[in-house]
Amino acid sequence: MQTAMEEVIERSVIANRLDTIAKEMSYALEKSSRSPIFAEACDFACGICNSRGELVSQINGIPILAAAGTFSVQEVIAKYHEQIQEGDVFIINDPYQGGNHLPDIGIITPLIVKGEVLFYCVSRAHHGDIGGSVAGSYNAKATEIFQEGLRIPPIKLMSKGQMINEVMDLITRNVRNPQMLQNDLWSQIGANNIGIARLQELLQQYSATGIKKTLAYLLEHGEKMARLAIKALPDGEYSGEEWVDDDGFQTHPIKIKVTVKVRNEEMTLDFSGTDSQVKGFVNSAVVTSTSAAWIGALWALGPDIPRNSGAFRAIKVYLPKGSLVNPEDPAPVTLSTLTPASEIISAIFQALDSAAAERLPAGFGRYCGPSFYGLDPRNQEFYVGFAFCALGSGGGISGRDGYPYMAPLSNYGGVRAPNIEANEIQYPHLTLCHEIVMDSAGAGKWRGGPGVCYSLEFYGNPTNIVMFGDGMKIPPFGAHSGRPGSLNHSKLTRAGEAALLLGSKEDARSLPPGSVLTMISSGGGGWGDPYQREAEKVWRDVRDGYISVARAREDYGVALKNDGVDQEKTQKLRSQALGQPQIGKINGT
């Protein structure tokens, strides 16, 4: 019989082992994959679910992918139930049946002991191409999901340890780079196998009964922590709105509205009032919308709450059918994991700002850049790439400036920016510029992160680009008197032609060799009154090239001289702006 202390220690060891196993799965996936999207950008997430498909452990990875893992497993369970056998592996990507969007393919591997499923290992990853009418699968002019790529319902990819070749052949026959996709699927299968092997080792040390008790405890603990955090908020209803620029067809903004209802220990996120689904690919199906809602709510509730299915139990999500956040099949949805997932999170932040202000940042930049594809003149092989180096920046938060180069919110720094030199080896382009953009950060007591200028020159065979993203009309919001961040914008320069401004959602365009594409990404919004920022911090920002001397004076009321802050002029500027003496306010005290 275990003592209470021994039981606590065992639970702690098992919980940490599960987290370590999920991390090892991710390392295996990163190191064994072939595509730059996996190996360089790490656009994936790994997790472990219990026998009911409830998420018990996940690595940070890409938040919008990690939280969604439970849906995919539960779809597999619902379809196969008593037919799941040892050695089976399942594959899924359909957004209307447990998936995020078509490029994100989930691989699910059960662990069966004495005829009973104890665990499911899950890897979800973004593949470079999944078919459809545009290479890279971001079809800005798609009007239905069939134009976006191959839909894969939950089906077996392997049975009793053997590959079902007909399924693999069907999938690879419908993509433009079949060998790379097949290799990356093997990497996902291999990562899951690592997870299964480590879980089997865990079962050699602890009984299945003890492990199941620990899993139940971890979920109950997650739920308890979430409910305690909700109870600490004042009961009431909190409303917030965020807007998507457009859908590539209509030109007016699209509203996302959320009402957060806090009642004792339960939170409901009600998206009634959100605009109807649209023609273009910014619709978001239930899995992505729910995952984004959980991310936003848990962020507001605090970092100590486990990100597992237990915590999710305390957060109810209502998504009106036929709306932007719950469209009717077969509406297109490919952009959804970027926009509007990030805007769903942002709307929740703005709703809960009065209740959890110290934990919530100002607005983040939105992703906006191209996919590019064609034949590489160096080897005549087909390639598909993405502008991961054009990331925007985060918003300021109480006590800290916004992190640069980590937007959008739905990824929260999970996508890595590839190495420039490696990128030039992988794709036929040269990087002409990759640098911070002055005066792009939203001003605030805690400023936003600055945006980035990223410029590419394409060479060799004609290159095709498809622009996808948002944030060219609506900037990242400022919070608590902070200023908004900057907008995204992009321009294309071709030999002998004037520069052409590009939209955020454009159809495929062929570029002749020598074309130069320049992207300016958003800076994040500022948090707090800029006149409360320490003058010495403003001086350092000027010295580091983040803001100009003129904007230091205009936005922050800070006058500078060659060697630092002009204290007397700064005092005068800030006093005049506030209409009262500001002794002690120069350094934000």
Determine which helix (DSSP H) or strand (DSSP E) holds 373, and give its type and residue range: strand 368-375
CB 160 within 8 A of CB 487: no
Averaged pLDDT, 176-182: 95
Q: What is the per-residue pLDDT for 60?
A: 64
pLDDT single digits (tens) 206-261: 999 999 999 999 999 999 999 999 999 999 999 999 999 999 999 999 999 999 99
Distance (Å, whole) CA 69 – CA 123: 8
Distance (Å, whole) CA 142 – CA 103: 15
First to last CA, the chain: 58
Q: Are strands 55-58 and 44-50 parallel, antiparallel or unpaired?
A: antiparallel
Distance (Å, whole) CA 553 – CA 332: 47
Averaged pLDDT, 71-100: 96
Averaged pLDDT, 75-82: 95
**Strand partners of residue 301:** none
Pick from 331, 397, 324, 411: nearest CA to 366: 411
pLDDT single digits (tens) 460-507: 889 999 999 999 999 999 999 999 999 999 999 998 889 999 999 999
Quick one: pLDDT band at residue 169, thresholds 50, 70, 90? very high
Listed in sequence order, the DSSP H helices in 404-498 are 420-426
pTM given for the model: 0.96
Listing DSSP states for 12-72 in one string gives HHHHHHHHHHHHHHHHHHHHH--SHHHHTT--EEEEEEETTS-EEEE-SS-HHHHTTHHHH
